[in-house]
Chains A and B, each alone.
Chain A
């Protein structure tokens, strides 16, 4: 079974200046939700931003992860800044 935390670690390792908040709302290890920011998103449209996230997750996207509800943010617009 996959975990939200493994997804977060993968994303933060693979994407530059990445912060990710990943949850498993139904606690089934298959359907995840993620909010992600990375400096790599700058100058890219939403499809390209989502494709970067999928790319970082690689084969897991085809096997362990059944669904990933995704919202991407440019670093300036990240709503979860540490205060």
Chain B
């Protein structure tokens, strides 16, 4: 990953308290896992930024290196990597995700 890509990712994450890298857009997810991630965020009524990795191959690959995480979607809260849709679902079920996004 080059420095420009790394900076673009860091800026996106820094400019939003809650940020989701996903396939497709919140209104039109292109993958079931991304859809699940959006559904969880919407169920919590939380504002979030998002980026469609299908629109940019540099970011699509870069974000995997950025977080040492091989799959999309990826959720960031307060600039920290939280996890993919399985971890989001588990945290949501335990009420942990709501606490985190409200922190």
**A residues touching B (Cβ–Cβ < 8 Å)?**
46-47, 50-51, 54, 61-62, 67-71
Contact = CB atoms under 8 A, between A and B. Distances in A.
A47 B33 contact: no
Contacts of B91: 46
Interface residues of B, number: 14
A54 B83 CA distance: 13
Given A46-B83, A47-B81, A54 B70 contact: yes
B68 interface: yes
B26 interface: no
Contacts of B83: 46-47, 50
Given A47-B81, A50-B84, A71 B90 contact: yes
Contacts of A47: 69, 81-83, 87
B71 A67 contact: yes
Contacts of B70: 54, 61-62
29 contacts: A46-B83, A46-B87, A46-B90, A46-B91, A47-B69, A47-B81, A47-B82, A47-B87, A50-B69, A50-B84, A50-B86, A50-B87, A51-B68, A51-B69, A54-B69, A54-B70, A54-B71, A61-B70, A61-B71, A62-B64, A62-B70, A67-B33, A67-B71, A68-B71, A69-B33, A69-B86, A70-B86, A71-B86, A71-B90
